[in-house]
Amino acid sequence: MKLFPLRAYGGHISLVWGLLALVLARSAPADTLNFAQCVDAALRQNPGLSASRAQVQQAEAGLVQAQAGHLPKVTFSLNAVRTNDALSAFGLKLSQRGATFDDFGASQFVGPASLLVAPDHLNHPDAVSNVNTRLEAQLPLYTGGMIEGYVEQAQAYIKAAREGDQSARQQLIFQVLQAYEGVHAARAYVNVAQQGEVAAASYVKTIDSLLKQGVVVKSDLLSARIHLEDVRVKLVKAQNSEAAALDQLHLLLGLPLSQSLDVGPQVTFARLPGRIDELREQALNDNPGLNAMRNQLQAAQANVKVAKSGFYPQLGLMARQDWNDKNAGFNASSYTVGGMMSWNVFDGGTVRGAVDRAAAGKAELAARLQQAESGVTFQVADAWRRADEAEQRVAVRELAVTHAEEALGLVEKRYNNGVTTITELLAARAQLDNARADVVAAKYDLAIQRAGLRLALGKLEPEMK
pLDDT digits (tens, 9 = 90+) for 227-276: 899 999 999 999 999 999 999 999 999 889 999 999 999 887 788 888 89
pLDDT higher than 60, residue 6: no
Nearest CA to 417 out of 210, 202, 204, 208 is that of: 210
Phi and psi based region of residue 433 (left: phi greater than 0; alpha: psi -120 to 50; beta: remaining): alpha
The torsion defined by the Cα of 430, 431, 433 and 436, in degrees rounded to 10, comes to 170
pLDDT higher than 70, residue 19: no
Least confident of 82-86, 107-111, 271-275, 300-304: 107-111
Q: Which pLDDT belongs to residue 384?
A: 92
Q: Please, are residues 156 and 236 in contact by the beta-carbon 8 Å criterion? A: no
Task: Name the band, by pLDDT with cuts 50, 70 and 90, for residue 2.
Answer: very low
**Average pLDDT taken over every residue of the chain:** 87
Q: How many CB atoms lie within 10 A of CB 252?
A: 24
Q: Higher-confidence residue: 434 or 293?
A: 293
Q: Which pLDDT belongs to residue 25?
A: 44
**β-pair partners for 79:** 132
Q: Which pLDDT belongs to residue 222?
A: 92
Task: Name the band, by pLDDT with cuts 50, 70 and 90, for residue 211.
Answer: confident
Q: Higher-confidence residue: 52 or 379?
A: 379
DSSP string, 131-145: EEEEEEEEEEEE-TT
Q: How many CB atoms lie within 10 A of CB 308?
A: 19
Residue 238's Cβ-count burial label (10 Å; 0-12, 13-18, 19+) is buried
> CA-CA distances (angstroms) from residue 232 to 8, 11, 237, 337, 423?
17, 11, 9, 90, 19
Task: Name the band, by pLDDT with cuts 50, 70 and 90, for residue 30.
Answer: low
Q: What percent of the chain has pLDDT over 90?
A: 62
pLDDT higher than 70, residue 314: yes
Q: What percent of the chain has pLDDT over 70?
A: 93
What domains can you pick out in the chain, each with its CATH number? Answer: 6-69+146-311+348-457 (1.20.1600.10), 73-144+313-342 (2.20.200)
Task: Name the band, by pLDDT with cuts 50, 70 and 90, for residue 464.
Answer: low
Q: Higher-confidence residue: 4 or 151?
A: 151
pLDDT higher than 50, residue 4: no
Q: Which pLDDT belongs to residue 14?
A: 43
Q: What is the pLDDT averaged over residues 58-81? A: 94
Task: Name the band, by pLDDT with cuts 50, 70 and 90, for residue 372.
Answer: very high
Task: Name the band, by pLDDT with cuts 50, 70 and 90, for residue 17.
Answer: very low
**β-pair partners for 136:** 75, 320
Q: Please, are residues 89 and 127 in contact by the beta-carbon 8 Å criterion? A: yes
DSSP string, 139-169: EEEE-TTHHHHHHHHHHHHHHHHHHHHHHHH
Model confidence, pTM: 0.75
Q: Please, are residues 162 and 450 in contact by the beta-carbon 8 Å criterion? A: no
- Each residue's pLDDT tens digit, 95-125: 999 888 888 888 777 777 777 788 888 889 9
Nearest CA to 455 out of 362, 399, 395, 387 is that of: 387
Q: What is the pLDDT averaged over residues 395-403? A: 93
Is 74 in a helix, a strand, or coil? strand
Phi and psi based region of residue 144 (left: phi greater than 0; alpha: psi -120 to 50; beta: remaining): left
Q: Please, are residues 22 and 239 in contact by the beta-carbon 8 Å criterion? A: yes
Task: Name the band, by pLDDT with cuts 50, 70 and 90, for residue 9.
Answer: very low
Is 14 in a helix, a strand, or coil? helix
pLDDT higher than 60, residue 11: no
Is 32 in a helix, a strand, or coil? strand
pLDDT higher than 50, residue 206: yes
Q: Please, are residues 440 and 447 in contact by the beta-carbon 8 Å criterion? A: no
Strand order in the sheet with 128-142: 73-83, 128-142, 314-325, 333-342
Rg (CA), the chain: 41
Is 329 in a helix, a strand, or coil? coil
Least confident of 197-211, 313-327, 374-388: 197-211
Q: What is the pLDDT averaged over residues 282-300? A: 95
Contacts of 128 (CB under 8 A, 6+ apart): 82, 83, 84, 88, 89, 92, 93
Nearest CA to 57 out of 208, 169, 161 is that of: 161
Q: Please, are residues 339 and 361 in contact by the beta-carbon 8 Å criterion? A: no
Q: Which pLDDT belongs to residue 337?
A: 96
Q: Which pLDDT belongs to residue 463?
A: 67
Task: Name the band, by pLDDT with cuts 50, 70 and 90, for residue 24.
Answer: very low
Contacts of 434 (CB under 8 A, 6+ apart): none
